[in-house]
Structures are given as structure tokens and as C-alpha cells.
Amino acid sequence: MSEEAPHLLTEEVDGILIATLNRPEKLNAITAQMMQLFEQALLRFRDTPELKVMLIRSTGRYFCSGADLRSGSSSGVGRTASEIRETHRLGLNGMQRIYDEMEHIEKPIVAAHHAACVGGGLEMSLSADFRLAAKSAEYGFPEGLFGVLPASNGVSRLTRICGAHWARYLIMANLRADAEKALYMGLVHEVFPDETFEEDVMSFCRHLAEQNPEQMGAAKLAIELASEVGRDQGRHVERLANSALMLNPSYLEGMARYVQGVGKGGDKA
């Protein structure tokens, strides 16, 4: 019998770390090995200055069908309610820890859904900074079929991104959303044609890789903070972030060049 292929593959292209879920025959269901390899890739992305963007993608009929319940490695069963809560916090292949790290890394992470993205796959994607959909993509939380909630980002992160209105639709009503509805909900940022999806995704990632990394990192933190505080405090967050950015030599040099160019009859922004 041939050796099983790794559950996640990585490659680097133009400063983009591409992490590909690699279990198409199992609908890219999440296993312990997949999460271990994903965390390794995530930390490599975090700690390598040359890597500007992380892209999460997959191949096959599903982007991800959620946790592989048949593997036995993702069970959240406990003898008491307290044990189940602790399993969600500390177990489940480290999902909550890994998803938190995705949100804390000051670099952009993109999830690209060419097909159905449900359950644990959607929870992983909710911690990405950008979600891109092909026309064929769809979204849902099948946990409701078993009488439980998606508890590793599904309720908390979905509600922050789409609001309680659409969280009820996906979780309480247990309905799926196609790509166009997901765009309307605010769940995804762009919907691309199936035929050009890979090209469009790479073009988007290359665009991100060209942005100022200090600005990107500060923006990621500032946006998260501003979403948690009131309007007045949000303005403080803006001023704090800019007070550091505007001391960067790259900003000072760039502004000097811009002003000099305008002063000499150059193009105005």
C-alpha cells in the first residue's frame, strides 16, 4: 500500500506562502496531522520576513467539510459539561489556539474557497483577514444537525463579522449560503468566476504583498481594537497607530519625495 500523502502542502510564490489542504478524497476533512502541519506553516509565515501573505486553499469537491469525525482525533466528548468546555478550549487539535494566532499575526492571511466550506473549515476561514469565493462556493454549519453549536469560532467570530442577523440564519436556521449571499452577508470580500478563480486569487495576494508591511500590521491591530471599543476610544486607537507609523523613515522619505514632486509640477494624488 502506498504511503498516504501529507494532509497539508506548502509552497512559496512571490512572497506568498500557499498552504493547501490536501485530502480531496476525504473532502479535505480536518485531522490532527492537518492541524499540526498548518500550525507549522503558520509559524513559519509569522517568523519569515520575506513571506508577506499567507494563502489557504484546497482542491477537490470541497474546500473543507469540517472536522474528520471518523478519525477519532477531533472528538470533543467529555464526562461533564466542564470537561467538554475545556476540550473546546485546549483540545480539538489546538484549533482555538491556532485560530487566535492567525488573528494576532500582523500579516494578511487569505482563505480562498473554490467550493463548499463548512463546519471547521469555515471556522478556520473566519480567522483569516480576507475570504475570497469562487462562484461555486457555499457556506454552512452542519453542527446544528447534531444539536450542537460550532464552538471554535463559529458563533463568536461569525457574529462579529456578519452580525447576529446572519449568524441566526447560518446557525439557528441551519441554512447554507451560496457565494452571492455570502458576499451580501459580508462573509466574503469578493466572488470571482470559477474559470479565473485561481488567477484572481493570486492577483489579490500579490497586491497585498506589495503593500507597506508596517501599515498592514498596524491596520490589522487597529481594526480589531476599534471593533471592540466605542467611537471615542476608536479614534484614540487611530491616533496611537498613526503616531508610530508617521515616525517610520519610509513614511518620512516617501512624503518628502511626494511633496518635492508636487512642488516641481509632478502629478498630484
Quote the pLDDT of residue 261.
83
230: which 3 cell numbers? 466605542
Quote the pLDDT of residue 265.
53
188: which 3 cell numbers? 466574503
Give the integer Cα–Cα distance in Å for 108 and 160: 18
Instruction: State in words which class domain 8-209 has.
Output: alpha beta
Quote the pLDDT of residue 228.
85
DSSP H helical ranges for the chain: 32-47, 81-90, 95-104, 120-126, 156-167, 179-185, 197-209, 213-226, 231-245, 249-263
Quote the pLDDT of residue 27.
96
From the list 189, 54, 158, 39, the residue with the least C-alpha distance to 108 is 54
From the list 57, 50, 58, the residue with the least C-alpha distance to 24 is 58
- Is 0.85 surpassed by the pTM of this model? yes
Quote the pLDDT of residue 71.
64
Q: What is the mean pLDDT of each run of 10 residues along the chain (269 residues)?
A: 82 98 96 96 98 97 89 63 76 82 97 97 96 98 88 88 96 96 98 98 98 94 88 88 88 89 57
